[in-house]
């Protein structure tokens, strides 16, 4: 009985770690997309560099950055340590741009 309880407890903890990483990736992607869109509008910085810097500050790596007119789409990834199961990756994608260009 103790073995089953231990296995279930470990599974719950690993699911919680993965879920938390996914939320961090979502937040990092949102903030990176906003930073890139702001840089695009201001013209003070290269948008994808702004996104990459912002993603790094939030513990993520910029996986892709696409500028389509005034809309920026970024993807980020965050490494997730899953104990004995190795290293996983949480990814997220976000878009930012003017409201009147929303799909």
Ramachandran region, residue 43 (left: φ > 0; alpha: ψ -120 to 50; beta: rest): left
**Is-contact 22 90, C-beta < 8 A?**
yes
pLDDT of residue 12: 81
Pairing mode, if any, of strands 87-96 and 71-81? antiparallel
- Structure-block tokens of residue 13: 């903890």
pLDDT in tens, 46-100: 999 999 999 999 999 999 999 998 899 999 999 988 777 777 889 999 999 887 7
Ramachandran region, residue 88 (left: φ > 0; alpha: ψ -120 to 50; beta: rest): beta
The mean pLDDT value for 2-22 works out to 80
Question: What is the domain partition of the chain in residue ranges?
Answer: 2-101
């Amino acid at each position: 009985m103790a073995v089953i309880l231990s296995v279930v407890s470990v599974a719950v903890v690993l699911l919680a770690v993965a879920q938390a990483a996914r939320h961090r990736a979502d937040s990092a992607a949102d903030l990176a997309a906003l930073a890139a869109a702001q840089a695009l509008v201001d013209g003070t910085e290269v948008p994808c560099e702004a996104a990459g810097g912002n993603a790094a500050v939030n513990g993520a790596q910029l996986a892709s950055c696409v500028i389509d007119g005034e809309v920026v789409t970024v993807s980020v990834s965050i490494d997730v340590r899953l104990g004995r199961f190795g290293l996983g990756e949480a990814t997220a994608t976000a878009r930012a741009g003017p409201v009147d260009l929303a799909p």
